């Protein structure tokens, strides 16, 4: 039975191996990360100085839209699906995912979705320019014709996410090793199980939103058109009913990764495992009932504002439980600070900052000042970049030696961490000041008093961007010529079934399920 | 490890995903509409009103203000003939809006109402309104469009001023026939 991977390109096109598909997802997401990062560099270059220097305002709008869409749907989400593919079967002692052929399909439709989306950049009328939240009627009545490519792109990536999620749930529920009860599952598996349910609940809602857009644009319906009796505010409700769970879809698997790395490098078991599980489930539940905190300025009645304000603040409770559990895990642990741990600790600190600014915006009366300003841009980059991307980077450094049997360059990893950390904070911390001072988001130009902080922010963004090239270099160098490692545990404090396997991990693992005590 | 438990999970989840899609397209819009209608939050006034009881409450007056706005690049002149009237609850009042098609082509417009404060929405009745129908207007022509309304006697006493706003949309070439308050009939009519 033991046979290795097929030869040539066919290995990757027709593979049903969870490790191969995980690798495909990770490389695809890194490619999208570079593409979205390039868009971000264009944005920051234009905002380096007031006035229009490099690009036209119309193109600037396309850049902000494409940056958001590519990063959220192309970079972060596939990165965590890739990690799930690689790690979940190994963590629960399964030989592969439950539905391997669907796994192949769910990956291979993704490049087509983003090819559709990216091709609009070269079309007449330009790429979508209505922001990643694509509010109607800007995205319907006033949209460029390429909006249809965007809609079909979203449909395809939605189908991909749903298939990926079904696969993860089917795997986790049916293929755990004997003895592994739900409450013995590793945290990464738990967070992904919950995330997958969130995805199945809300990705169809996103598909519904874009379908209604498609009908409004092409078939004369009026879901979101006031002229025909519809309501543009309905779009925002439907979108954020998807959009709020979406941000937890992005961050919950990141929580899972951190819950593995922190115990490993603290050489202590995770503090409060079951509270971590319940906190994750609570966050997932609450994510469905707080969506309108994105819409405090649409003219809600005061009762609605109060409800969404308090419900949103409630989310801080389970989230804080997780933060305190990580801190308690580190407390009096015998800690070392290898690259994954540095990223994990930075995640905890910076995600907490992002969480606090989130609480500030949850306060409906003060949100009037922050709404659609650079303050919100700073907030969600603290949770998306310092949250999801830092955690993804930590995960790659943490598991890369296990995957390929070669050690990355620790010095280069640490350099990448410090350059990323400093660059990130230089780029995004000043955006809090800009937002509080009144600089609105999504504009290609700004008033003169915002010049200094914008210049500093752009410099930080370039530094952060450069650090990601170093990351790519370090990973490729590791795969090609890293120092070979062979002990099952790359990290002495690591626990879990995946660390009982040989290093590098064989192509097929757990053909016979392990016994879990 | 037989395939059937996996298949059961797969089928359940596929149904779940399909159900959420149908929920988004077929349940959320009518639900939103119903919610707005019940609470009056959207400020959308109802369709033609049948007078059920006569009688005027002369003990108090309510100021009704009118606002006319053109949506986007709508090129018509559009304004209320009177900008505000003071009425007794229960008394039918007729006002008119002026519209002129300044272009050289025949056009069709649709006026969409919005009323504030929203807790007055359900107490503002229109027996006749130009917004109930689309308004065709030939090139260069002008017209006065009538509105007859009654402020309900049950209007909360805290409401002293009602502002009624109309936004005029260009619907030339749109085949759909919009009427206020029946918002989602057309999307579904198309699907049926």
B110, closest residue in chain A (CA to CA): A227
- Say which of A96, A216, A367, A498 is annotated catalytic: A96
In the block, which residue shows the tokens 């600070």?
A337
Contacts of A165 in chain B (CB under 8 A): 13
Contact A241, B28 (CB under 8 A): yes
Q: Band of the pLDDT at B186, cuts 50, 70, 90?
A: very low
Laid out side by side, the sheet with B142-151 consists of B77-80, B93-100, B142-151, B124-129
- Say which of A23, A64, A139, A160 is annotated catalytic: A160
Q: Which regions of chain A are under pLDDT 70?
A: 1-3
- Alpha-carbon Rg of chain A, whole angstroms? 22
Identify whether A246 is a catalytic site residue.
Answer: yes
- Residue A295 contacts B where some CB pair is shorter than 8 Å: no
Facing B178 at nearest CB: one of A200, A202, A229: A229
**Tokens matching residue A8:** 């040539």
Rounded to whole angstroms, the maximal C-alpha distance in chain A is 69
- Closest approach of A260 to chain B, Cα-based (Å): 28
- Residue A470 contacts B where some CB pair is shorter than 8 Å: no
| Paired strand residues for A406 | A484
Instruction: Look at B21 and A200 and tell me if their CB atoms are within 8 Å.
Output: no
Contact A31, A65 (CB under 8 A): no
**ipTM attached to this prediction:** 0.91
Question: What sign does the CA torsion over A434, A438, A441, A445 have?
Answer: negative
Residues 6+ apart with CB under 8 A from A53: A45, A46
Q: Does residue B122 or residue B10 have the better pLDDT?
A: B10
Count helices and strands (H / E) in chain A: 18, 2
Question: What would the mean pLDDT of B106-134 be, rounded to a whole number?
Answer: 88
Identify whether A161 is a catalytic site residue.
Answer: yes
How far apart are the C-alpha atoms of B17 and A199, rounded to whole Å?
9
In the block, which residue shows the tokens 């915006």?
A361
What is the Cα A219 distance to its own chain's centre? Answer: 34
Identify whether A508 is a catalytic site residue.
Answer: no
Q: Band of the pLDDT at B184, cuts 50, 70, 90?
A: very low
Contact A367, A435 (CB under 8 A): no
Question: What sign does the CA torsion over B182, A219, A74, A385 have?
Answer: negative
Residue A454 confidence (pLDDT): 97
Total Cβ atoms within 10 A of residue A215: 19
What's the pTM? 0.91
Instruction: Look at B39 and A175 and tell me if their CB atoms are within 8 Å.
Output: no
What structural domains and CATH numbers belong to chain A? 20-500 (1.20.210.10)
Contact A283, A333 (CB under 8 A): no
Q: Band of the pLDDT at B190, cuts 50, 70, 90?
A: very low
Contacts of A103 in chain B (CB under 8 A): none
User: Does residue B181 surpass a pLDDT of 60?
Assistant: no
Identify whether A328 is a catalytic site residue.
Answer: no
Identify whether A67 is a catalytic site residue.
Answer: yes
User: Does residue B185 surpass a pLDDT of 50?
Assistant: no
How far apart are the C-alpha atoms of B177 and B182, rounded to whole Å?
11
* Residue A307 CB burial class (10 angstroms; 0-12, 13-18, ≥19): middle
Q: What percent of chain B has pLDDT over 70?
A: 88
B25, closest residue in chain A (CA to CA): A208
Instruction: Look at B20 and A166 and tell me if their CB atoms are within 8 Å.
Output: no
* Residue A481 CB burial class (10 angstroms; 0-12, 13-18, ≥19): exposed
Instruction: Look at B182 and A229 and tell me if their CB atoms are within 8 Å.
Output: yes
Contacts of B183 in chain A (CB under 8 A): 222, 229-231
User: Does residue B134 surpass a pLDDT of 90?
Assistant: no
How far apart are the C-alpha atoms of A251 and A465, rounded to whole Å?
21
Identify whether A244 is a catalytic site residue.
Answer: yes
Contact B47, B180 (CB under 8 A): yes
* DSSP β-ladder status, B62-70 and B161-170: parallel
Contacts of B29 in chain A (CB under 8 A): 212, 223, 230, 234, 238
Coil, strand, or helix at residue B116?
strand
Question: What would the mean pLDDT of B73-82 be, rounded to a whole number?
Answer: 90
How far apart are the C-alpha atoms of A105 and A14, rounded to whole Å?
9
Facing A220 at nearest CB: one of B9, B170, B174: B174
How far apart are the C-alpha atoms of A275 and B47, rounded to whole Å?
54
* Residue B34 CB burial class (10 angstroms; 0-12, 13-18, ≥19): exposed
- Say which of A44, A322, A402, A406 is annotated catalytic: A322
Residue A332 confidence (pLDDT): 95
- Say which of A132, A135, A307, A443 is annotated catalytic: A132
Residue A517 confidence (pLDDT): 77
Selection from A220, A453, A442, A257 nearest residue A347 by Cα: A257
What secondary structure letter does DSSP report for B43?
A: -
User: Does residue B182 surpass a pLDDT of 60?
Assistant: no
Query: Which spans in A125-186 are helix H?
Result: 147-174
The string of DSSP codes covering B51-89 is -------TT--EEEEEEEEE-TT--SEEEESSSEEEE-T
- Say which of A44, A176, A293, A381 is annotated catalytic: A293
Identify whether A46 is a catalytic site residue.
Answer: no
Q: Is A226 left (phi over 0), alpha (psi -120 to 50) or beta?
A: alpha
């Amino acid at each position: 039975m033991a046979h290795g991977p097929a030869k040539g390109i066919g290995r990757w096109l027709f593979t049903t191996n969870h490790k191969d598909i995980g690798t495909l997802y990770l490389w695809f997401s890194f490619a999208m990360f570079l593409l979205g990062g390039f868009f971000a560099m264009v944005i920051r270059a234009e905002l380096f100085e007031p006035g229009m220097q490099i690009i036209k305002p119309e193109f600037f709008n396309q850049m902000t839209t494409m940056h958001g869409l590519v990063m959220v749907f192309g970079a972060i989400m596939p990165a965590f699906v890739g990690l799930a593919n690689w790690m979940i079967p190994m963590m629960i002692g399964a030989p592969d995912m439950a539905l391997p052929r669907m796994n192949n399909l769910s990956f291979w439709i993704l490049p087509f979705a983003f090819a559709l989306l990216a091709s609009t950049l070269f079309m007449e009328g330009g790429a979508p320019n209505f922001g990643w939240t694509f509010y109607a009627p800007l995205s319907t009545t006033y949209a460029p014709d390429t909006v249809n490519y965007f809609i079909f792109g979203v449909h395809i990536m939605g189908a991909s996410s749903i298939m990926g999620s079904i696969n993860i749930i089917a795997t986790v529920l049916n293929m755990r090793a004997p003895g592994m009860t739900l409450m013995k599952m590793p945290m990464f598996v738990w967070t992904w199980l919950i995330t997958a349910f969130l995805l199945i609940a809300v990705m169809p809602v996103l598909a519904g939103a874009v379908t209604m857009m498609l009908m409004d644009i092409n078939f004369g319906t009026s879901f979101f058109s006031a002229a025909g009796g519809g309501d543009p505010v309905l779009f925002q409700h439907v979108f954020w009913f998807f959009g709020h769970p979406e941000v937890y879809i992005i961050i919950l698997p990141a929580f899972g990764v951190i819950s593995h790395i922190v115990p490993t490098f603290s050489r202590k078991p995770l503090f409060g495992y079951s509270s971590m599980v319940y906190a994750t489930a609570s966050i997932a539940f609450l994510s469905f009932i707080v969506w309108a905190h994105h819409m405090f300025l649409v003219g809600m009645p005061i009762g609605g504002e109060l409800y969404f304000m308090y419900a949103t603040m409630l989310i801080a409770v389970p989230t804080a439980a997780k933060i305190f559990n990580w801190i308690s895990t580190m407390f009096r642990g015998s800690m070392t600070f290898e690259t994954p741990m540095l990223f994990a600790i930075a995640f905890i600190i910076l995600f907490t900052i992002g969480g606090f600014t989130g609480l500030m915006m949850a306060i409906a009366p003060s949100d009037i000042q922050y709404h659609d300003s650079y303050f919100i841009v700073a907030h969600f980059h603290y949770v998306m970049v310092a949250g999801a991307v830092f955690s993804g980077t930590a995960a790659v450094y943490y598991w890369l030696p296990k995957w390929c049997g070669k050690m990355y360059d620790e010095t280069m990893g640490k350099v990448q961490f410090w350059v990323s950390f400093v660059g990130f904070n230089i780029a995004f911390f000043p955006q809090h000041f800009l937002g509080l001072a009144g600089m609105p988001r999504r504009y290609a130009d700004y008033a003169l008093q915002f010049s200094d902080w914008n210049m500093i922010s752009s410099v930080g963004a370039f530094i952060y961007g450069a650090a990601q090239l170093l990351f790519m270099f370090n990973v490729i160098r590791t795969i090609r010529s890293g120092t070979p490692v062979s002990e099952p545990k790359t990290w002495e404090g690591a626990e879990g079934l995946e660390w009982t396997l040989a290093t590098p991990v064989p192509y097929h693992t757990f053909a016979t399920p392990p016994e879990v005590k | 490890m037989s395939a059937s438990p996996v298949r059961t999970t797969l089928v359940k989840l596929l149904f779940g995903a399909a159900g959420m899609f149908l929920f988004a397209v077929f349940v959320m819009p009518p639900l939103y509409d119903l919610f707005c209608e019940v609470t009056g939050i959207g400020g959308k006034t109802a369709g033609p009103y049948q007078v059920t009881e006569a009688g005027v409450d002369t003990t108090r007056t309510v100021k009704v203000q009118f606002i006319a706005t053109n949506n986007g690049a709508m090129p018509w002149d559009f304004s209320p003939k009177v900008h505000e009237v003071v009425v007794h609850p229960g008394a039918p009042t007729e006002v008119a809006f002026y519209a002129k098609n300044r272009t050289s082509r025949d056009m069709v417009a649709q006026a969409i109402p919005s009323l504030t404060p929203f807790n007055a929405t359900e107490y503002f009745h229109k027996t006749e309104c130009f917004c109930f129908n689309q308004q065709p207007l030939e090139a260069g022509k002008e017209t006065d469009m009538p509105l007859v309304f009654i402020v309900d006697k049950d209007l909360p006493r805290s409401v002293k001023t009602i502002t009624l706003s109309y936004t005029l949309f260009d619907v030339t070439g749109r085949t759909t026939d919009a009427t206020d308050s029946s918002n989602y009939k057309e999307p579904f009519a198309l699907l049926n």
